[in-house]
Chains A and B, each alone.
Chain A
Amino acid sequence: MTNSSPRDSQSFRDSHGRPLVAVTGLGIVTSLGQGQADNWAALTAGRSGIHSIARFPTDGLRTRIAGTVDFLDTDPLVAPALSQRFAEEAAEEAIIQSCIGTKGNFPGALFIAVPPVEMEWPQRQSLAQASGQNGDITYSDLQRAASSGRFDSWHDLFIFATVADNIADRFGTKGSPISLSTACSSGATAIQLGVEAIRRGEMQAALCIGTDGSVNPESLIRFSLLSALSTQNDPPEGASKPFSKNRDGFVMGEGAAALVLENAEAARARGARILGYVLGCGEKGDGFHRTRSSPDGAPGIAAIRAALHDAGTGPNLIDTINAHGTSTPENDKMEALGCAAVFGERIRTLPISSNKSMIGHTLTAAGAIEAVISLLTIAHGRIPPTINYVVPDPALSLDVVTKARDARVSRVLSNSFGFGGQNTCLVLGDEPA
């Protein structure tokens, strides 16, 4: 962890003259466990959290595996409720670590990446049944059942702001909470929004969360229909194999991560222990295609460069890359191409690793979860491995970390790329640039 050497007030500004943004609390939930300690132990041991899905029947599905979080439960078991539960656990851990504010009184705003909310099949079925319709069921029947008032509590369950609202109530965050989506880069965007708000001086602290509990039949099938998922169900823990020649898609994962961000000067003034800094955030849109990236990789490259520029650092000062590394043929190829363009020859010897090999693709949460793991990587001086890297893709000249590797890590680049042309990259560091 960063030592607490006193710094003069000038150095609480970054190289662009903006307030430095420190991280003072981290929380994490994945299929590997709850909390930093359990996750770190599992990640560095190369353990997989991917398993056969037990939550719902998988008969007839091409993909029957996921990194579901089965040790936390809700009633009803629906994506927004699960997402809220994971977020609460992660936020609780982060806020306790940061020792900020008082219980139920977080002195800053909430930025939370949540999966898009929709009514789910068990609820549709309940409405259909309550309608008494014995013939063909239509939405008119569901509306009639809804008008009975019996299902009123589901309104809040299935609108978009509720998860954030409940988190805001529980932790006492200030102002109007932001619920956001930038698809698979959402978690990174939540952090970026918090960083920017602190830099603008709008607040001294922000609670930034990414959460996703949306492994259910329809979500899984949607990705499956786009041929995005691995179908190598056996063994489950071998399916996610980023950067491997035989990679065949991602594996859905669940979880959440929370970061307490603070104006570094304010954090130091209250005697907080600074765990690291969010030095830079970069983003770039891609208008090429709804699910594929520009063939030249330019937007991804621009996002990485924007993050480095925002951090006031160059590619030579990055010690490791926490890859987006989904294990899809397309992503890993484009990510390798993008990194090679930015890092040049050095990419052959620059350690790169994908946490998704063990926890799957946690979608909305991924950017936040991987930022937390990046900060743990810095703190422990150890890079978690990319498991299942048995058949390297010879087209990608990367130094993929296959066993936990000890290294002095001062700065990490964390990449997130998503459907809809979303590219968001973060630079996390132990000391200001």
Chain B
Amino acid sequence: MSQRDVVVTGIGLVSCAGEGVTAHLEAFVADSPKVVDTERFAPYPVHPAPVLVLDGQIPKKSDQRQMEAWQRLGVYAAGLALDSAGVKQDAIFKSAMHLVVACGGGERDTAVDGAILTGLRDAADPGAYLNEHLQNDLRPTLFLAQLSNLLAGNIAIVHGVTGASRTFMGEEASGVDALRNAQSRIASGQIDTMLVGGSYSAERPDVLVVHEMGGYLRKGDFRPVFEREGEGEAGFILGSTAAFLMLEAAETAAARDARIFARLLPVESDRPRRETGSVQRSLTALWGKAGPKPDLVISGATGVEGITTEERGVLDELAPGVPVTALGDLAGHSLEVTAPLGAALAAVLISEGRAREVAITTVGHRRGEGVVRLSALS
């Protein structure tokens, strides 16, 4: 089957580095310390979301209220991407546009949870107590902030992107596969335009519990991802981020005179069973299939022990002498958003002439590897 070129024509970025293309370009170039909050969720540092004027992308307060932080970040970034693509005001265009979202979900009301756990301790009938308090104390609309597909649902409601949406879940791999799926749907001619991306809120005590189980969180202060090798140093620092890319067939982008940031080549991903050396073998194989010749590598490395060192080692072999930037140093680790964030950043760097070709690597903290390749148009 003949394949069409797929290009990036819109970018929306939110992270601790700020919002939008310029802020992220500056953060990437600057050698300044990144924003880390070591106090609020101590002993866990987090890279917090920037202060956003939500009204700029989510005009209705009622919409803002019906979402929790992870969804607001995502809807905001999706709006930035539509603005950047110059289609924000084009209702007909947006009503035909499809979405692929990579995200988790499961937002909690931590005060309610804490009160129920406290009450359950001495409850005479714990089952009845739980039922009573969940019924009385849960906000009915919280459910809508827990459902994974409601990020896409909110993008449809707030921005009118209503072609149809599919939500991929599954930590780091889901972000790579969202890009892979969107790229192949456009390349094969199935569809012309897609919005793809995801969002993650690190500022949630409940997700810190999940990742503390298993010991995946770094404690204390920031340290660069590839320098977390000493005893007790390893682990990830979660970051609140959102990234959306508008992908388009090169021919339709040209037809509407769209600004083209970069070309997205076919995305490669896999999930071999994890064992010593499997990351190296998998990344090497995916790299071979993707065939990048990058002048820059953006690594989504987590900082988790073993796999981070393994990734760094294999990148030295695959791209000798090519600078490697850890996305985690810029914005923290944001699971599902890793690949879209890396791809969006790469597209910015290419459009600014700072790179001709960028390879993004992702190695999931538990499973799944990916190689995403973006290049200048010619």
Q: Which residues of A contact B (CB under 8 A)?
A: 56-62, 114, 116-119, 121, 124-125, 127-129, 135-140, 142-143, 146-147, 149, 151-156, 158-162, 164-165, 168-169, 175-183, 189, 193, 196, 200-202, 217-218, 221-226, 283-291, 299, 303, 418-424
Contacts and interface: CB of A to CB of B under 8 A. Distances in A.
B367 A165 contact: yes
B210 interface: yes
B170 A155 contact: no
B234 interface: no
Contacts of B185: 196, 200
Contacts of B176: 176
B160 A116 contact: no
Contacts of A420: 147, 149-150, 152-153, 156, 165
Contacts of B106: 116-118
Contact of B104 (A151, A160, A183, A288): A160
Interface string B118-153: 101100010110111011001010111011111011
B1 interface: yes
Contacts of A58: 131
Interface string B139-183: 010111011111011101101111111111111011011001100
B110 interface: yes
A175 B286 CA distance: 11
A181 B167 contact: yes
B1 A201 contact: yes
B269 A176 contact: yes
B66 interface: yes
Contact of B270 (A176, A288, A303, A424): A176
A146 B205 contact: no
Contacts of A193: 166, 181
A129 B188 CA distance: 54
A217 B134 contact: yes
Given A181-B149, A290-B150, A142 B177 contact: no
B144 A178 contact: no
Interface in B169-214: 169-171, 173-174, 176-177, 180-181, 184-185, 188, 190, 205-206, 208-214
A202 B270 CA distance: 14
Nearest to A136: B118
B105 interface: yes
Given A116-B104, A222-B140, A287-B162, 19 more contacts: A61-B135, A116-B105, A124-B117, A136-B118, A137-B117, A138-B205, A139-B208, A143-B212, A152-B215, A160-B148, A168-B271, A176-B177, A182-B149, A217-B127, A225-B135, A290-B66, A290-B150, A419-B153, A422-B149
B354 interface: no
Contacts of A158: 210, 213
A175 B165 contact: no
B168 A179 contact: yes
Interface in B1-47: 1, 44
A160 B128 contact: no
7 shortest interchain CB distances as A-B pairs: A420-B153, A57-B127, A161-B170, A139-B205, A155-B214, A283-B164, A287-B156
Contact of B162 (A59, A117, A421): A421
B169 A179 contact: yes
Given A139-B114, A146-B213, A289-B157, A189 B166 contact: yes
Contacts of A225: 135, 138, 140, 143
Contacts of A159: 170-171, 210, 366
A96 B367 CA distance: 28
A119 B167 CA distance: 20
Nearest to B368: A176
23 contacts: A60-B132, A116-B147, A118-B106, A119-B210, A125-B117, A125-B120, A129-B121, A139-B206, A154-B213, A161-B174, A169-B273, A178-B168, A200-B188, A217-B131, A221-B138, A223-B143, A225-B138, A285-B161, A285-B162, A285-B164, A287-B159, A420-B149, A420-B153
A221 B156 contact: no
Contacts of A288: 157
B153 A284 contact: no
Contacts of B164: 283-285, 303, 422-424
Contacts of B130: 121, 217
B148 A139 contact: no
A421 B118 contact: no
Contacts of B44: 143
Nearest to A155: B214
A418 B149 contact: yes
Contacts of B162: 284-287, 299, 421
A59 B127 CA distance: 8
B229 interface: no
A299 to B, nearest CB: 7
Most buried by B among A139, A146, A283: A139
Contacts of B188: 200
B143 A226 contact: yes
